[in-house]
Amino acid sequence: MNIQELDKKYVLPTYARADVEFVSGKNARLVDANGKKYIDFTSGIAVVSVGHGNERLTNAICEQIKDMMHMSNLYYIAPQAKAAQKIVEASGYDMKCFFGNSGAEANEGAIKIARKHGERDGQVKQYKIITLNHSFHGRTITTVKATGQESMHNYFGPFPDGFVYANGIDEIESLLDDHTVAVMIELVQGEGGVQPLDKQKVQALAKLLKEKGVLLMVDEVQTGVYRTGKFLASNYYEIEPDVITLAKGVGGGVPVGVVMTSLKGIFSPGDHGSTFGGNNLSTRAICEVIDILNEYDANGELARGIAYFDAALENFYNAHKELFMEKVGIGMIAGLRVKDADTLGKIINAAREHGVMVLKAGRNTLRFLPPLTITKEEIDEGFELLHTALTTL
């Protein structure tokens, strides 16, 4: 059997897979099983932050594997403590971290923090969490319910109670009540269509919630670790959340999830845990990824790369306004609104056929999430391929 036949026989069909199998990559370049080459504007959906086959990350992982891949959280784990230090120091916030294995787990941890914080002996328990319509917070039963997309709630109920959906940031204040413990938002909605929230409105919301004693939780699974040009989108928006979640790019391809909070005494031993979360392998990867990107930011290469990519995307947008309505996003999380939603799928397929990988977001957005280390040559080649692909539509 070939790979496709094996997949169809043994793997649950939860993904509508494209007819391609990638076997190797170097930075923003990919090679498939037939030897065809591609430019990757997706980075595995914002995961491969330091590029495919990054030599420094590979070496760090190999060195760690030779020593120890995993040890139980019942004991001290040196790279875990160092990873927490690097994350907190890069964020600029006074927080502590918990390590899991995915963005959904990180958001589960955030929800547990909120629910424990909302316990009130002899008083009204605060348990409600407000999220936004079109949000995406994960695939577990609880994070699916936290996600403000009704289509994702089919089949899987009954769900945990206590989630309320706001139709935009302006509606949040009217939904606050005595039972509200937290508001959870993405500062740039990724799966919801690359939709950045208004900066002034976010700052006003943060001030309001602090005044009312309601937690502000920011899901940075897709926007964290320099994706917006700052270490956190929260830094870009100049706010100080109570809880922040990370995953995807913080591990550079190794599965990780992080929930960090200023409520440093919220959990006691036994309140939360993870067998694999924070093990030697994953946190060594985090340490190396953050070191690489901190250096990349400090020497100006990140800012120059973002500026070059943004200019190339702007030129591409201006050259194809018959297809696109609007350019959106911040930094290396960007999108183009497609005038005809049916055309979006055709664009993605044509792009892949011509050797460039792009993504869908929401109903009508062409999404770009390149490796943060993408070079000018890779950017130029990718957009040349996209230009050619669009001429075939």
Q: Do 220 and 244 lie in a common domain?
A: yes
Identify the pLDDT of residue 192: 87
CATH number of the domain enclosing 380: 3.90.1150.10
CB atoms inside a 10 Å sphere around CB 92? 13
Residue 66 exposure: Cα atoms within 13 Å on the Cβ side: 6
Identify the pLDDT of residue 149: 92
Identify the pLDDT of residue 124: 85
Identify the pLDDT of residue 340: 85
Domain boundary among 275, 298, 321: 298
- Name residues of the chain where pLDDT drops below 50: none
Q: What is the DSSP secondary-structure string of 305-330?
A: HHHHHHHHHHHHHHHTTTTEEEEEEE
Q: Do 203 and 291 lie in a common domain?
A: yes
Q: Do 222 and 328 lie in a common domain?
A: no
pLDDT tens digits for range 176-227: 999 999 999 999 999 889 999 999 999 999 999 999 999 999 999 999 999 9
Q: Do 247 and 309 lie in a common domain?
A: no
Identify the pLDDT of residue 1: 85
pLDDT tens digits for range 230-269: 999 999 999 999 999 999 999 999 999 999 999 999 999 9
Domain boundary among 243, 267, 298: 298
Q: Do 240 and 260 lie in a common domain?
A: yes
Q: Do the beta carbons of residue 164 and residue 133 sit within 8 Å? A: no
User: How far, in Å, CA of 229 to CA of 331, rounded?
Assistant: 5
CATH number of the domain enclosing 237: 3.40.640.10
Q: Do 323 and 353 lie in a common domain?
A: yes
